[in-house]
Amino acid sequence: MQSAGVPDAAIRAFQYNYERLVAGHTGMIPEAAIQPVEELPRLETVSRERKPDPALLSQTVVIKLNGGLGTSMGLERAKSLLVVKDALTFLDYIVRQVGYLRRKHEVPLRFLLMNSFVTSRDTLDFLRKYPELGDPCSLELMQSQAPKVDAATLRPVSWPQNPHLEWCPPGHGDFYPSLLGSGQLEGMLADGLNYAFISNSDNLGASLDLSLLTYFAASERPFLMEVAERTPADRKGGHLARRDNVLLLRESAQCPETEQTAFRDVRRHRFFNTNNLWIRLDALRELLRAKGGFVPLPLIRNAKTVDPRDTNSPRVIQLETAMGAAIECFDQAGAIVVPRTRFTPVKTTADLFALRSDAYGVTDDWRIVLAKDNGQPPPALDLDARHYKLVDQLDDKLGGGVPSLKECQELTVRGPVCFNSKVRFRGKVTVTNACAESRNLAGGEYADTTIAV
């Protein structure tokens, strides 16, 4: 890591995690050790209690986590360069969101992207289409890199066929040592920046909300997590809990197998992390100083193959951490319940399918939100992974245009089915094709039905 120029703070963070791996640390959090979170402040309430203060924007930096490739969907470039809607990429929308706030409030709102060694070049090249942002290099915070660990020997894996694949990004928990090691944390504080709003680049609902910023500044909390109400669709995802009156995150991998029923009980554990975070930069500096330059976050053991596209290549362990887990590291950290409109990530092609449809619209400030804000969840899509798992496969099936999903609750697709813009789904619909070759679904309205093509 030293030879590769990895900053000392990131090396110390990796050493901390590696020592726990060798020691057999599991990170399990049993149900008996925690208590559910009953109530939290809500954005719709606090936004009525205090007038938004645009002056705070000059003390704030917007940071987007942009280190992922989206390999699970077959992508080989930065995921943020994927076309989402109306021929625009994630990054187009992000830049336009920032530009909107700058123009509306006449404030030079600071903006950064945390790139990884696999996304940096493509991202910086893309940003040159927006000269008003200035030098793209000035917008970059580089995530560090860590060695992939050979699962059999716990040594750094060797892969001479492609040494580049011997390294991996260490998860977005690396944000903290990377910000310190780059010198940008001290630079921001010297420039009078007090607050950071951080979110994932694939979540276009997560633009900077001035009411939230105003609430966070007035609260004087060092750390604030945006959470949303869990639904049955979220039962497998991590949830917020308390231990010794301190908020923490518990992921499925941290829950004993015998207690998964309690973990998935969305009435007991009601809130999940949107990964939209607010941090006081001076408090972060003090925490990093106290902990030796990194935040001691719970370890995530991510089992992979050294070549993600070769399942026969050696098994490795990627040591990762999650940024939101820092909620238990900051004294007096808090959480706030936000509407589901602030959480529209794209993790699968099903998410992308829905986002490209008329179920979602674009606001004046360039957020993508549900077209019908009536409290109902977005359409639930269950696509046949054999034919829709990869973006190229989805694009092929949507060659005739995206069908209407505005009135759709559930859409299940089995087999290779090609859609077009003249198709309209309502309610709960299943479409099947038992043949190996793709077949077209004729235009028309399909409501609460099962169709074979």
Q: Read off the pLDDT of residues 383-400 as tens digits, 9 standing for 90 and up.
A: 999 999 999 999 999 999
pLDDT at 33: 94
pLDDT at position 72 over 90: no
- What residue segments make up the domains of the chain, in order of their start? 8-342, 349-452
C-alpha neighbours within 13 Å on the C-beta side of residue 346? 32
Supply angle C-alpha 418, 422, 428, rounded to 5. Answer: 75
pLDDT at position 351 over 80: yes
For 29, 48, 117, 166, 405, the CA distances from 360, given in Å and listed in that order, are 37, 26, 32, 40, 9
pLDDT at position 169 over 90: no
pLDDT at position 308 over 90: no
Closest by CA position to 236, among listed 250, 221, 252, 249: 252
Q: Return mean pLDDT, the chain.
A: 93
CATH pick for 349-452 out of 3.90.1310.10, 3.40.50.450, 1.10.10.10, 2.160.10.10: 2.160.10.10
* Structure tokens given for 259: 């207690």
How far apart, in whole angstroms, are the C-alpha atoms of residue 281 and residue 287?
A: 10
The better pLDDT of the pair 170, 103 is held by 103
Q: Which of 54-58, 173-177, 372-376 has the highest mean pLDDT?
A: 54-58
By mean pLDDT, which of 133-137, 170-174, 274-278, 429-433 is the weakest? Answer: 170-174
| Cα dihedral 127, 324, 279, 109 in deg (nearest 10) | 20
pLDDT confidence tier of residue 302, bands split at 50, 70 and 90? confident
DSSP element (H, E) containing 218? helix 210-219
pLDDT digits (tens, 9 = 90+) for 136-159: 999 999 999 999 999 999 999 999
Residue 116 makes CB contacts below 8 A (sequence gap 6+) with 66, 67, 68, 142, 143, 145, 169
pLDDT at 322: 87
Question: By the 8 A CB rule, do 367 and 203 touch?
Answer: no
pLDDT at 374: 61
How far apart, in whole angstroms, are the C-alpha atoms of residue 98 and residue 113?
A: 12
pLDDT confidence tier of residue 298, bands split at 50, 70 and 90? confident
Q: Coil, helix or strand for 84?
A: strand
The pLDDT > 90 percentage for the chain reads: 80
pLDDT at 237: 79
The total of other beta-carbon atoms located within 10 Å of residue 25's CB is 13
pLDDT at 293: 85
Q: What is the DSSP letter of 326?
A: G
pLDDT confidence tier of residue 68, bands split at 50, 70 and 90? confident
The pLDDT > 70 percentage for the chain reads: 99
The dotted CATH code for 8-342 is 3.90.550.10
pLDDT digits (tens, 9 = 90+) for 203-248: 999 999 999 999 999 999 999 999 999 988 788 778 999 999 999 9
pLDDT at position 165 over 80: yes
Residue range 306-334: average pLDDT? 93
pLDDT at 375: 64
Question: By the 8 A CB rule, do 276 and 353 touch?
Answer: no
Q: Which string of b and e fits 82-114 if b means at least 16 CB within 10 Å?
A: bebbeebbbbbbbbbbbbbbeeebebebbbbbb
Supply angle C-alpha 267, 370, 439, rounded to 5. Answer: 100
pLDDT at position 58 over 80: yes
pLDDT at 277: 97
pLDDT at position 376 over 80: no
Residue range 334-353: average pLDDT? 93
pLDDT at position 411 over 80: yes
How far apart, in whole angstroms, are the C-alpha atoms of residue 255 and residue 31?
A: 8
